[in-house]
Amino acid sequence: MNEPDFSHALIWTSKGNMLESELDFSTTWENTPDYIKLTETWVERATGEVVKQSAHALSKMGVTGHGDVASFG
Amino acid sequence: MANTQAMCASFKGQLFNGFHQFGSPTIVSRTSLTTPTADTFFIALYLVSASHGVGDTIYAVTGETSGTGYTAGGKTTGAWAAPSDNGTSGFTTPSASVAWTGLTLATATDGALIYNSTQGNKAVSVHNFGSTTITAGTLTLTMPTNAAGTALLQVT
C-alpha cells in the first residue's frame, strides 16, 4: 500500500486552495494569567503574505463578582 | 462560638438560577414560573480599539468586530453547566467551546461580551483573549474548568 503523497496536499486559504508545499507554517503561543492562546499561521513562501491564520484561546479563569454583606445600623 | 457575617454560598450559586427576586423588574417570560426555561446567551467579539468592560449594560454594536464568517451579535454560547457552589463560591460555565470557522478578521480583535439575548440583550461579562487576527481560519474560544477559582462566571 502506497503512502499518501502529502506534497500535493491542498489547504484552504484567502487565495482559495493552495498547495501546502508552497506555504510556510508556524505557531506561536501566548501564555498570560488569564488565557493561553495558540496561533497558527500559514505564509505564502513566494510573496510572504499571510494566507491563513487561526487562533485558539483557552480561558484559564473567568470573571468573579464579590458578594458582601454589611452589619446593621 | 459566635456567628460569622457572610453571604451564603448557596445563595451565590442560586443567583445564577434566578431563585431570588428582590425587586419587581419586567422580564421576558420563561414560560413557567415554577420550572422556567433557561435563557439564551450569546458571545459577541470586539475590536482591540473598543472599550467594553464593567460598565456595559447591554449588547452594543459599537466597536464590534466584522469580517467574513462573523455575524453581528456573535454566536450562542450553548447550554451552561448547572450553576452550583462549593461552600464558598457560586459558579457556572458554558458547557462547550465556541468557534467561528471560515473566518477572516482583518482588524485586531481581543474582547468578548457575553449577554442574555432572552432578557433584552442584557450584558453579563466581558472577557479578553489578547489581540487576534484571523485569515480564512478558525477562532476557538475554549472555556475554563467549571470549578471554584476557574469558572467563567463566579460569585465569591
Its ipTM equals 0.86
User: B132 and A39 in contact by Cβ < 8 A?
Assistant: yes
Q: Name which of B135, B150, B156 to mutate to probe chain A: the one with the most chain A Cβ atoms within 10 A of its Cβ.
A: B135
How many other C-beta atoms can be found within 10 angstroms of the C-beta atom of residue A67?
16
Say which of A12, A60, A62 has its CB closest to residue B93: A62
Confidence (pLDDT) at A4: 67
Sort out which chain A residues have CB atoms less than 8 A from B143's CB and list them: 59
* Percent helix, strand and coil across chain A, each to the nearest 5: 10, 55, 35
User: B150 and A37 in contact by Cβ < 8 A?
Assistant: no
In a domain, A29, yes or no: yes
Residue B113: domain span: 39-81+97-144
User: A61 and B149 in contact by Cβ < 8 A?
Assistant: yes
Residues of B with CB under 8 A from a CB of A: 5-7, 11-12, 89, 91, 93, 104, 125-130, 132-144, 149-156
Which chain A residue has the Cα nearest residue B13? A67
In a domain, B107, yes or no: yes
In the chain, the amino acid numbered B58 is I
Between A4 and B53, the more confident residue is: B53
Residues of A with CB under 8 A from a CB of B: 12-14, 30, 32, 34-35, 37, 39-40, 50-69, 71
User: B134 and A35 in contact by Cβ < 8 A?
Assistant: no
Sort out which chain A residues have CB atoms less than 8 A from B6's CB and list them: 69
In a domain, B77, yes or no: yes
In a domain, B54, yes or no: yes
C-alpha–C-alpha distance, residues A16 and A19, integer Å: 10
Distance in Å, alpha carbon of A67 to nearest chain B alpha carbon: 6
In a domain, A48, yes or no: yes
What is the pTM for the complete model shown? 0.90
Strands A63-65 and B153-155: parallel
Looking at the structure of chain A, the number of domains it has is 1
Q: Which three cell numbers stand for residue B78?
A: 450553548
C-alpha–C-alpha distance, residues B37 and B27, integer Å: 13
pLDDT digit string (tens) for B100-142? 999 999 999 999 999 999 999 999 999 999 999 999 999 999 9
User: B135 and A35 in contact by Cβ < 8 A?
Assistant: no
In a domain, B20, yes or no: no
Per-residue pLDDT of chain A (73 residues; tens, 9 = 90+): 677 666 689 999 999 999 999 999 999 999 999 999 999 999 999 999 999 999 999 999 898 888 888 888 8
DSSP state of B147: S
User: B144 and A32 in contact by Cβ < 8 A?
Assistant: no
In a domain, A54, yes or no: yes
What separation in angstroms does the CA of B145 have from each of A11, A48, B58, B126? 33, 39, 26, 18
Looking at the structure of chain B, the number of domains it has is 1
SS (H, E, C) B85-134: ECCCCEEECECCCEEEEEEEEEEEEEEEEEEECCCCCEEEEEEEEEEEEE
C-alpha–C-alpha distance, residues A6 and B129, integer Å: 34
